[in-house]
Amino acid sequence: GAVVSQHPSRVICKSGTSVKIECRSLDFQATTMFWYRQFPKQSLMLMATSNEGSKATYEQGVEKDKFLINHASLTLSTLTVTSAHPEDSSFYICSASRQQQFFGPGTRLTVL
Amino acid sequence: AQTVTQSQPEMSVQEAETVTLSCTYDTSENNYYLFWYKQPPSRQMILVIRQEAYKQQNATENRFSVNFQKAAKSFSLKISDSQLGDTAMYFCAFMTDTGTASKLTFGTGTRLQVTL
């Protein structure tokens, strides 16, 4: 149990476009999900805490208007990178919380 | 704020040998949880082991065990009988409680290479 999926696993987009990443808890309900960003050979950096039915809580330095988070149901949270730029290229990982955090497989975003 | 420090950026161990990865943390909390996560080349985060701070007994999961020293704020991971599949990044992580909104604070990671 406690499986978390992410879609897509890889995405390439042009600069200026928006990209949506989905995070789903497949076999449990999660009122809280987390979004992380990971640069090559670095640790996970928490971007925001996604709460079902309410606004996300962003970490200091993360632009909330650029990284839009929606947690519309107990099994789905989405991260939309708006007006993407090459510096937004990274590996994005979500986790769903149920006594502990269960991680999705990640999404590699490349912005050309 | 909590901090987690992993002072070994890279480690290497021969197959079947034992290796210990270090982790120290800083917190003013009394109740918290500590974790070791493994991130293989696939980049999927995998929970290796978990320790509750209120438990004095060190957690063990098959070949993986921890040495939890609460007073010293130290939480090392011992991997026995290392296998090639243990090659991965290992992250130490801290969480204040198990409420659903509790955040994880990660260390910078240790890259472990298991060699023949």
Question: Out of B33, B42, B107, whose CB is closest to A43?
Answer: B107
Compute the mean pLDDT over every residue in chain A, rounded to the nearest whole number.
Answer: 94
What confidence tier does A35 reach under pLDDT thresholds 50, 70, 90?
A: very high
Question: Out of A31, A100, A105, whose CB is closest to B98?
Answer: A100
Closest-CA distance, B1 to chain A, in angstroms, reads 13
Output the pLDDT for position B24.
98
- pLDDT, tens digit (0-9, with 9 covering 90-100), for A45-83: 999 999 888 889 999 999 999 999 999 899 999 999 999
pLDDT above 90 for A2:
no
Residue contact A51–B101, C-beta within 8 A: yes
Residue of A nearest to B35 (CA): A100
Tell how strand A107-111 and strand A10-13 pair up: parallel
pLDDT above 80 for B19:
yes
CA triple A72-A74-A77, angle to 5 deg: 50
pLDDT above 80 for B98:
no
Residue contact B108–A42, C-beta within 8 A: yes
| Residues B60 and B72 sit within 8 Å (Cβ to Cβ) | no
Output the pLDDT for position B30.
86
Of A59-68, A94-103, B13-22, B77-86, the poorest mean pLDDT is in A94-103
Residue contact B47–A100, C-beta within 8 A: yes
pLDDT above 70 for B58:
yes
pLDDT above 80 for B74:
yes
DSSP code of residue B42? T
Enumerate the residues of chain A whose CB falls inside 8 A of the CB of residue B95: 100
Cβ contacts below 8 Å, chain A against chain B, sum to: 49
What does the pLDDT average to over B19-25? Answer: 98
What confidence tier does B99 reach under pLDDT thresholds 50, 70, 90?
A: low
pLDDT above 70 for B100:
no
Closest-CA distance, B56 to chain A, in angstroms, reads 20
What does the pLDDT average to over A6-14? Answer: 97
Closest-CA distance, A28 to chain B, in angstroms, reads 13
Compute the mean pLDDT over every residue in chain B, rounded to the nearest whole number.
Answer: 94
Enumerate the residues of chain B whose CB falls inside 8 A of the CB of residue A103: 44-45
- Chain A residues contacting B via beta carbons under 8 Å: 30-32, 34, 38, 41-44, 46, 49, 51, 91, 93, 95, 97-101, 103, 105-106
Output the pLDDT for position A97.
87
A64 three-class SS: coil
Strand partners, B88: B112
Q: For chain A, say whether B97 makes contact (Cβ under 8 Å).
A: no
pLDDT above 70 for A112:
yes
Continuous segment of H or E residues that includes residue B77: strand B74-79
Distance CA(B48)–CA(B74), nearest Å, equals 17
What confidence tier does B80 reach under pLDDT thresholds 50, 70, 90?
A: very high
Residue contact B108–A49, C-beta within 8 A: no
